[in-house]
Amino acid sequence: MFFNKLKALAALALAAATTASACTLQQVTSFGSNPTGVGMYICVPAKLATKPAIIVAMHYCSGTAQAYYSGTAYASLAETYGFIVIYPNAPTSGGCWDVHTTETLTHNAGGDSLGIASMVRYTITTYGADTSKVFMTGTSSGAMMTNVLAGAYPDLFVAGAAFSGVPYGCFAGASAWNSQCAEGELIKTAQAWGDEARTGYPGYAGTRPRLQLWHGTVDTTLYYQNLIEANKQWSNVFGISWTKNNTNTPLSGYTQMIYGDGTQYVAYSAVGVGHTVPVRESDVLNWFGITGSQFPSTGSGTTASVATTLQTSTTSAPVSTTTAPSTNTGTIDKYGQCGGEDWTGAGTCVAGTTCTYSNAYYSQCL
C-alpha cells in the first residue's frame, strides 16, 4: 500500500522521549463541530501558566495522538513552561490526515481541519488560553496538516513548524494520496502557489501565521522538491523573498534559509536526511517564542544571490548546473543529489534527467 513507507519511516524518525515528568494525556469527547470524528487528546500541566499558550501537535501516517505524545518531548516541556498541548487523533484507519478535500482546505467548511480548529477554540475557552499564543506543529502527514491549517485558519494560529510536509493544497482533489505531489512533480509559480493558499480563507486580510519548515534532501516519500514549492508559496503569501542562507544551522549539514528579515518564514534543508527530519523541539519552542527570543537568530549568513527554486513554473525549463567532478563515477537515480558545495557523491544523473540547481548546497537529478 502506498502509505506503508510513509508510515514506517515517520514512526522511526521519532525517538521515544521520556514522559516521567510529562503532563497526563486525557481524552476530550465533546468540544464542538467535528464532522469527520477527529479524536481530541489534551495534556494540561500541573503548573499551568496564566493565560497559557497552546501547541497543537499532529502525528504522522499510522501514528496516533498517544504515539506523538510519547514520541516527542512536548508533554515534558509543557510541565516546564506551563503550556497546553493538544494531540489530535486522525479518524482514518491508516492514521493519515485529510489534507485533500475542499472541506478541510477551506475555513470552517468541514474536514479534519475543522475538528482541530474546534479543539483549539474549546481549549481557549475552557482554560483561558492566550489567543496570541496558539501554535501548530507536526511530522509528515501532520506537517501537511500544519500547512493546511496555515492556509485555512490563519485567524486561529500564530505560528507553525512543519517537519517533512508539502505545501498547502498540494494534495487537493486527490482521493487521499497524490503521487504527483508526493514525488515532487507538482510544480507551480510562486504566484499560483500563493493564490492556492489564499483560497483557504477567501477575503482574509489579517496577519498570517509565521512558519518554520524542515525537509530532508534525500526524502523519497515526500520529495525535497516539496520544500522548494513551499518556499515559493509562503514567500509569496508573506510578500517576501529569499535573503540569505546560514550553513550548518542548527546542525552540521543543515542549511537555514532566511526569507525577508527571518521573522515570518524560515526553511531548513537537511542534507542527507530522508523522511522524516527528526523533531527539534527546542528550535520549535524558540520559533514560537515560548523560550528565548520570539524569532530565531538569522546569523551572519551568506548574502550572495542564490536561487531557491528548481523550476519556476510548469512550463519553464529547469536551471542546469555542472554535475559532480569528473573524478566521481556512478549513476545517480532520479531525485538524487547531484551537486552542491562540498558534495562528493557519484557524478552522473540517470538517463532522462538533468542535474538541476536548487541552491548553493543542493542540486537534484530531475
For the beta sheet containing 355-359, the strands, ordered from the edge strand earlier in sequence to the opposite edge, are: 337-339, 362-365, 355-359
> Which of 110, 108, 115, 45 lies closest to 80, judged by CA?
45
Question: 332, 338 in Cβ contact below 8 A?
Answer: yes
The vertex-211 CA angle with 184 and 267, nearest 5°, equals 55
- Give dist(CA 116, CA 137) in Å, integer: 12
Question: 97, 142 in Cβ contact below 8 A?
Answer: yes
Say which residues have a Cβ less than 8 Å from residue 216's Cβ, sequence separation at least 6: 164, 224, 270, 272, 273, 274, 275, 276, 277
Distances (CA, A) of 115 to 20, 126, 145: 30, 16, 12
Helix (H) or strand (E) holding 364: strand 362-365
CA Rg, the chain, in Å? 20
Active site residues: 140
Strand segments (E) across 132-277: 134-139, 159-163, 210-216, 242-247, 254-259, 265-270
- Give dist(CA 197, CA 180) in Å, integer: 18
Label the pairing between strands 210-216 and 265-270: parallel
- Give dist(CA 198, CA 219) in Å, integer: 27
